[in-house]
Structure 1
Amino acid sequence: MGVTCLSCEIVSGRRGVTGGPLCETERFHAHQDVAYPVPGLVIVASKRHFKSFIEMDDGETQEFLPLIQKIRRAQSRVGIDAVYYFYNEDTKHHFNFWMVPRYPWMASFGKSVEAVRPALIHARDQMASEEEISFVAQTAARLRLILTNG
């Protein structure tokens, strides 16, 4: 039996994510990250298997930036003032674009890119109480409402 593709599992709905899917286009699926309970940490995953910007077809290219802008505007409306953007090309199959909010509590880990990994690990290991996960789900619901209704 082959290795299960996590992104395919999420995009298809076979694996749930905290707060459910945020929005979906013909070519992309946006959801709260499954590993790090940071409110508003959005993963934009391609539906098609590819790894890099240079592998995007014309339709993906045309959909991508407007979708990112729409999500970022929604993040702003829920009080997220700053975001780090990441993607890596050393994945197995899927293009995943990370939109990582910068919260005041992250300042203790430094500023800029070097602070992101320790902040995410801290969130995963120290911020997963029932109350904190509930807030992540509430933020996801607010984002979904904004993304759906404008």
Structure 2
Amino acid sequence: MKDENFAGNSKTAIDFLGNKWNYECMGCAISNKQITIPGGIIYEGKYTFLGADPEIPIPGFLIVNVKRHINSFAQLSKEERYEVADVIFYAEKALKELNITNEVTLVQEEHSKHLHIWIFPNYDWMTEKFGKGIKYLRDISEFAQKNANERKIKEVLEVIEQVKDYFKDLSIKGSFNK
């Protein structure tokens, strides 16, 4: 789902459940509850929210989004930086402690008009089929989209629920507060 321009340019995308979206800025539309991502929001803080990638059905592929419409880490306030770091920390920890993946790749590119960070899980099949490294993420993503099936989508949605439960448990224990 590309979000290349914000100045009044409407875009259309289809998520991995087949829902069609119209938006100007995907990050803002999700943050403002104008569109609902598959599986819903995993965690919502004061400055950020965490969800699964809405277009690429890979279990554990999570995205940390900043609510404010900015595109660079350098534009974050101190409070936003702390919350982004905490969400990334606990999301990665959840993926590993729940045995979803043993390794992740973090990605943030400023060409997007709304700051978001990919937490991309690394699986053996990815390395076997494509190799290892950031240069293969687009190919892996395209492969996952083209080869999506009901079983894989169900697995993605189950992982979302596991990570939601992990974050709820953290909040109950007071380990992670909004």
Give ranges in structure 1 of 5+ residues lacking alignment.
Answer: none
Aligned residue number for residue 82 of structure 1: 103
Q: How does 1:96-135 map to 2 (within 5 A)?
A: 96-107=116-127, 108-126=129-147, 128-135=148-155
**What is the identity, as a one-letter code, of the residue corresponding to 2:134?**
V
| TM-score for both structures, normalised by structure 2 | 0.79
Q: Does 1:45 align with 2:65?
A: yes
Of residues 134-143 and 63-72 in structure 1, the stretch that sits farther from structure 2 once superposed is: 63-72
Q: Does 1:62 align with 2:115?
A: no
Contact 1:27 1:48 in 2 (8 A): yes
Deviation at 1:12, TM superposition (A): 2.4
**What is the identity, as a one-letter code, of the residue corresponding to 1:147?**
F
What is the percent sequence identity of the aligned residues? 27
Contact 1:19 1:141 in 2 (8 A): yes
Q: Does 1:18 align with 2:47?
A: no
Count of aligned positions: 148
What's the Cα RMSD here?
Answer: 1.4
| TM-score for both structures, normalised by structure 1 | 0.93
**What is the identity, as a one-letter code, of the residue corresponding to 1:135?**
E
1:95-114 deviations in whole A, cap 9, x for unaligned? 01000000111011011112
Q: Does 1:27 align with 2:47?
A: yes
Contact 2:59 2:155 in 1 (8 A): yes
Give ranges in structure 2 of 5+ residues lacking alignment.
Answer: 1-6, 11-23, 171-178
- Structure 1 moving runs of 4+ over 3 Å: none
Larger RCO (CA within 8 A; separation ≥ 6)? 1
Q: Does 1:91 align with 2:112?
A: yes
1:21 counterpart SS class: coil
Contact 2:50 2:87 in 1 (8 A): no
